[in-house]
């Protein structure tokens, strides 16, 4: 005859409780392994922020360089425009200088017995000096042409003259004075250039 062993109710409850506790611990350990590490997540976010910061810094430096180039280009264009406008105005005064020089040349042989002509010459001389000094203060200077080698950037050859006293392509006479304005050509000098004398 088989004897049945009776289980106490408290024993079955303890077994169920132990099983639930084991399952809960197992789930919590699995959840702990599945959850990301907060430190690793922060490090990843920091690395991404650094990359984005470098991108924005590079973009800012590029824009700053473009703006600086634009500012320099604008200033250069503005100064070029001002210089061009000043040159066109100053060119209008050069014929007055030419007229004064021609008048002084024609009056240079005035006789001392003609005081009215001498006074006229002194007046023209004073006007010529004031105008020349004013233009010099602005930056207009005459081109020193006579005796120099012919330079097509500064001189305009109107004629060629045979000369045994000068080397070839040397300016032997200035027909009309040229001027520079702040190291730029305002008006070329019109000159006569030496050529070797022709043999008979």
Q: What is the pLDDT of residues 38-47, one digit of tens each?
A: 888 888 888 8
pLDDT value of residue 141: 93
CATH of the domain at 164: 2.30.22.10
- 8 Å CB contact between 171 and 191: yes
- For the chain, residues with pLDDT lower than 70 are 1-36, 110-113, 199-200
Neighbours of 12 (CB within 10 A): 10
| Per-residue pLDDT reduced to its tens digit, 5-23 | 455 555 555 555 666 566 5
What is the number of domains present in the chain?
A: 1
Residue 153 lies in a domain: yes
Domain assignment present for residue 118? The answer is: no
| 172 in any annotated domain | yes
At 148 the three-state DSSP class reads: coil
Q: Domain for residue 169, yes or no?
A: yes
List strand residue ranges (DSSP E) for the chain, in order: 140-142, 155-162, 171-176, 179-181, 184-187, 189-195
- Structural domain containing residue 163: 141-200
Quote the DSSP letter at residue 109: T
Q: Say what the pLDDT of residue 80 is.
A: 87
- What's the pLDDT score for residue 198? 76
Domain assignment present for 66: no
């Amino acid at each position: 005859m088989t004897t049945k062993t009776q289980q106490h109710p408290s024993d079955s409850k303890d077994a169920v409780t132990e099983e639930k506790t084991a399952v809960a611990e197992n789930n919590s350990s699995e959840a702990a392994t599945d959850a990301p590490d907060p430190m690793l997540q922060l490090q990843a976010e920091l690395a991404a922020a650094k990359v984005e910061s470098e991108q924005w810094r590079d973009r800012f430096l590029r824009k700053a360089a473009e703006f600086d180039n634009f500012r320099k280009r604008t200033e250069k264009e503005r100064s070029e425009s001002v210089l061009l406008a000043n040159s066109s105005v100053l060119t209008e005064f050069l014929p007055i200088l030419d007229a004064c020089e021609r008048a002084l040349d024609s009056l240079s042989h005035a006789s001392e017995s003609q005081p009215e002509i001498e006074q006229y010459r002194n007046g023209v001389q004073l006007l010529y000096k004031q105008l020349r000094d004013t233009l010099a203060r602005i930056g207009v200077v005459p081109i020193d042409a006579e005796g120099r080698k012919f330079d097509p950037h500064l001189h305009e050859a109107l004629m060629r003259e045979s000369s045994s006293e000068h080397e070839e392509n040397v300016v032997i006479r200035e027909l009309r004075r040229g001027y520079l304005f702040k190291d730029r050509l305002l008006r070329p000098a019109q000159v006569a250039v030496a050529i070797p004398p022709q043999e008979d």
